[in-house]
């Protein structure tokens, strides 16, 4: 429990980050998709509505990643991202466990708070607690789609965050991918990539349709991306588990930046020892 005592701020930040993401998703979806919404009535093209939702959620992700909390926790806000960095040796077992517990708890709390804000509107079939469920193509197509987009986002994170000239823009790339996926892929699977996000919506909605897809496809996709990355560039090419590292917040991970700075006889501000 010493780890919990020392690192609980990061765990709470992860819970808050995903909770805020779920609140934003619920509110934006209700505004754009609830039949009684004036915005929904004014924008009749579903593709355009998804584009607006995608941009809003992409901006939400960017805001979380570059927030003070996101800079400190690493802004995974996704249990599979955490598991993938654990597989890559960047996160210690207890930190990974507490991150994942916090993410599931934060996501559910976010949906429940959104329900208090939106009232009955969040239960409308067009909003439905922002449930992720397979589209008309069925669970097979949804599985394949989740596998592909999860592979894509994890590969982006690894390539961009470990490229010095691009690393500080990892959050921007993530936001762009989220906006693109919601616009184009959401009709296939609902665009989850995140078991914590899916379960948080499924519980109050009592909708468990093909929930196995959202626990398996993102995991396989992101782990596959990490395997491809290390085979191409090597294990040492993964520097840290933070999406945004060059800041003055402490880092609780097995951090390559810290090892480099200590080897040079100095220490970066962003790599404060815990």
CA–CA distance, 37 with 183 (Å, rounded to integer) = 20
> Distance of CA 59 to CAs 12, 131, 134, 181, 210, Å?
21, 20, 25, 13, 29
Answer yes or no: are the C-beta atoms of 69 and 226 closer than 8 Å.
no
CA–CA distance, 161 with 180 (Å, rounded to integer) = 20
Angle between helices 46-65 and 170-184 (to 10 degrees): 160
Q: How confident is the model at residue 270 (pLDDT cuts 50, 70, 90)?
A: very low
Residue 77: phi, psi to the nearest 5?
A: 40, 35
Answer yes or no: are the C-beta atoms of 178 and 61 closer than 8 Å.
yes
Torsion of CA 76, 81, 82, 83, to 10 degrees: 170
Domain boundaries, the chain: 2-271
Positive/negative CA dihedral, 209, 212, 215, 217:
negative
CA 103 to chain centre: 9
11 sits in which H/E element: helix 2-33
CA–CA distance, 182 with 147 (Å, rounded to integer) = 15
| pLDDT surpasses 60 at 185 | yes
Among residues 217, 28, 21, which one has the least CA distance to residue 134? 217
Answer yes or no: are the C-beta atoms of 252 and 260 closer than 8 Å.
no
Q: How confident is the model at residue 260 (pLDDT cuts 50, 70, 90)?
A: low
The yes/no answer on whether domain 2-271 falls in CATH 1.20.1080.10 is: yes
Tens-digit pLDDT profile for residues 64-84: 999 999 999 999 999 999 999
The pTM (predicted TM-score) of the whole model is 0.92
| pLDDT surpasses 90 at 1 | no
Residue 239: phi, psi to the nearest 5?
A: -85, -45
Residue 268: phi, psi to the nearest 5?
A: -70, 150
Instruction: State the chain's maximal CA–CA distance in angstroms.
Output: 63
CA–CA distance, 273 with 253 (Å, rounded to integer) = 10
CA–CA distance, 191 with 212 (Å, rounded to integer) = 14
Q: How confident is the model at residue 266 (pLDDT cuts 50, 70, 90)?
A: very low
* Token pair of 125 as six digits: 């079939």
Tens-digit pLDDT profile for residues 21-46: 999 999 999 999 999 999 999 999 99
Q: How many CB atoms lie within 10 A of CB 269?
A: 11
Tens-digit pLDDT profile for residues 148-164: 999 999 999 999 999 99
First to last CA, the chain: 15
Q: How confident is the model at residue 265 (pLDDT cuts 50, 70, 90)?
A: very low
């Amino acid at each position: 429990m010493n780890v919990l005592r020392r690192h609980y701020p990061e765990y709470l930040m992860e819970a808050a980050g995903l909770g805020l993401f779920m609140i934003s998703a619920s509110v934006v979806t209700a505004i754009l998709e609830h039949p009684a919404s004036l915005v929904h009535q004014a924008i009749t093209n579903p593709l355009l509505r998804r584009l607006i939702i995608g941009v809003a959620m992409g901006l939400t992700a960017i805001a979380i990643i570059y927030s003070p909390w996101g800079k400190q926790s690493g802004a995974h806000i996704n249990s599979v991202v955490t598991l993938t960095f654990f597989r890559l040796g960047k996160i210690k077992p207890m930190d990974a466990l507490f991150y994942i517990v916090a993410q599931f708890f934060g996501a559910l709390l976010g949906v429940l708070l959104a329900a208090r804000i939106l009232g009955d509107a969040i239960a409308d079939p067009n909003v439905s607690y922002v449930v992720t469920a397979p589209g008309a193509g069925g669970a097979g197509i949804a599985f394949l789609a989740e596998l592909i987009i999860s592979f894509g986002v994890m590969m982006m994170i690894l390539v961009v965050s470990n490229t010095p000239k691009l690393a500080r823009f990892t959050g921007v790339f993530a936001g762009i991918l989220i906006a693109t996926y919601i616009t184009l892929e959401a009709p296939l699977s609902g665009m989850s990539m995140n078991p914590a996000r899916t379960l948080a919506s499924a519980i109050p909605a009592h909708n468990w349709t093909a929930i196995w897809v959202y626990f398996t496809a993102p995991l396989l996709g992101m782990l596959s991306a990490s395997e491809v990355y290390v085979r191409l560039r090597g294990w040492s090419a993964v520097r840290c588990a933070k999406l945004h590292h060059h800041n003055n917040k402490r880092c609780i991970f097995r951090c390559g930046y810290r090892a480099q700075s200590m080897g040079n006889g100095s220490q970066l501000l962003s790599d404060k020892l815990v």
